[in-house]
Each structure stands twice: as C-alpha cells, then as structure tokens.
Amino acid sequence: MILLPSNHNLADKILKLVSWLCGSFVLLFFAFLFFDILLQGYERLNIEFIYSNPLNAGREGGIAPMLISTLLLLFLCLAIALPISMSCAIYLAEYTNENQWFSRFIRRSLSMLASVPSIVMGMFGYAFFVISLNLGFSILSGALTLAAMILPLLIRNIEDTLRNISNIHRLNATALGLSKFRTIFQILLPMSIQGIFLALILGIGRAMAETAALLYTSGYVTRMPDTVFDSGRSLSVHIFDLSMNVPGGEQSAYSSALVLVLLLLSINFFTHWIGRKIQVRSIT
C-alpha cells in the first residue's frame, strides 16, 4: 500500500465517496450475514446438537453423522490428494523449468482442472467412481472426487513453498555430495513442512465448502456411516437439503450453517497464524 498525497479536488472527492460507499456496503453485508447466522443459529446450537442423530428429517436432533461423514471425507480426500500433490510439486519445483513441454503440459492441465465447475466434477465422479468403478454412493467416491478438485490448489501452494527455499541449500547439498533423494527428503521437505501444512489447511477449507460435487458422489443418507463404502451426507449437503427439501428445517439449517462457518473461520485464523510463523522464520 502506497500513501498517495491527499488533495481535494472534486473528482477525488467523488471517487473517495463512491469507494467508501462500496466498502461500507461490503462491511455491512458481512456484518448482517454473520450476525444473522450467529443469532438465529445460536438458538439450537448446544452440545447435544453436535453429538446426537438427526430426527424427523433433520428438523430436530443433531448433526453427529454429518460431522463424522465430513471428517471422513476430508481425511480420505487429503490422504489421497497429499501424496500425489507432493510428488507433483516436488517434480515441478526440483526437476523441471518452465520451458519443458511436459511441465508446461502439467501446468496447463492443472489450471484447467482448477476451474472445472463443481457440478461437472460431480457428474464425472458419478459416472466414473460411482458407476464405472462400482464404488456406489459412498464416502470413498466423494473423497476421490474432492481430491481431484483440490489437487491444483495443493500443488500450487507446495510448489511455491519449495521454490521459495533459497538455492544455497541445494548447492550446499550438492557440494557435500548428497544425493538428490537425501537433498529432497532431509533438507528441502523438512524446511517446507509449514508451507505444506498451510496448503493442507487451505485444501481442507476448499473441500469442506464443497457441495455440488458431493451430491451425486457421496450421496445424502443421514445415517451414521460405518465404513467409507457407506453413503454419507456432508455438513454442506445437509444445509442444502434442510433448506430445500425439508419444510420447517430452517432452524436446523441455521445452526448447521453456523457450525460450518465457525469451522471455516477457525481454519482461516489458523492459516494466518501459520502464515505469520513462516514469515517470522524466513526473516530470521
């Protein structure tokens, strides 16, 4: 941010007024949305809501199976996406430069993969994982679909972290006669652990907000999932179902939305905290 000189001709005043109007509109909207969800959702939010099963199509009772399904989805999705994205990021950052056709091809596919609309991703997941691979409506199908969605985000962030490591460390390692394998696993990866963690959390945030891709992959059964081959309804799908298909489900939807927003808010604060730690470390 650069401080511009403040002088008060008419055009400047108008621009100032308009941008203040727009900014305060955004602020007001945020306050309205947040406090509306907070106040309305707070009524039904208690410990029981968190750990009990939904009753009466979700109008009463709690959200325990949705929380468990969401956690299972996230865990599986990261377990699938993390090894792939780390390999890809290491490959891109340590073995290629921007002029090689294969790395350009990967980058191009990643930017396209990142922008596939989530409903199209859901259709693909439905046709491929659910039907072709015969996994059925299951948490596994949902997690595989989500993994394909967050892959580009993870790869970009991990690659950035690796590229930000000073080349001196690589030169030192080579000078000491370390193999590439050891350089990567004993020097570069330990140095970028916080960055990888940050990428993970960003991925969790993205995956948790996803709804359309899950509708036709992990399904919307409200039962507690026993295994990952069971169908499970994520928290976001629960909000969708309550507000669309269940008359009188608004109260529960408000509370579920509050839980989801609070989870995402804590993820946001967590990422900032880690981000600051990385900055501090890179300065010292």
In the complex, what is the shortest distance from the CB of residue 219 to other proteins, in angstroms, rounded to a whole number? 10
In the complex, what is the shortest distance from the CB of residue 266 to other proteins, in angstroms, rounded to a whole number? 11
Tell me if 248 contacts other proteins by CB under 8 A.
no
Q: Which residue of 67, 135, 143, 260 would you call a contact of other proteins, by CB under 8 A? A: 260
Tell me if 151 contacts other proteins by CB under 8 A.
yes
Q: Tokens 């090689």: give the residue.
A: 100
In the complex, what is the shortest distance from the CB of residue 230 to other proteins, in angstroms, rounded to a whole number? 19
Tell me if 229 contacts other proteins by CB under 8 A.
no
User: What torsion, rounded to 10 degrees, do the Cα atoms 214, 216, 218, 222 define?
Assistant: 100
Q: Which amino acid does the sequence have at 139?
A: I
Dihedral sign, Cα of residue 172, residue 173, residue 175, residue 176: positive
**Contacts to other proteins from residues 9-28, by CB under 8 A:** 9, 11-12, 15-16, 18-23, 25-27
106 contacts 87 by C-beta, under 8 angstroms: no
152 contacts 113 by C-beta, under 8 angstroms: yes
Q: Which residue of 100, 111, 164, 186 would you call a contact of other proteins, by CB under 8 A? A: 111
Tell me if 146 contacts other proteins by CB under 8 A.
no
Q: Using the minimum distance from each CB to other proteins, give the nearer residue, 227 or 244.
A: 244
State the number of binding residues for other proteins (CB under 8 A). 87
Tell me if 104 contacts other proteins by CB under 8 A.
no
The pattern of x and - marking residues 23 through 62 that bind other proteins according to CB under 8 A reads x-xxx-xx--x--xx-------------------------
137-155 burial, b if ≥16 CB within 10 A, otherwise e?
bbbbbbbbbbbbbbbbbbb
d(CA 162, CA 185): 12
Tell me if 270 contacts other proteins by CB under 8 A.
no
What's the burial of 227, exposed, middle or buried (CB within 10 Å: 0-12/13-18/19+)?
exposed
Query: β-strand 54-55 against 60-61: which pairing, if any?
Result: antiparallel
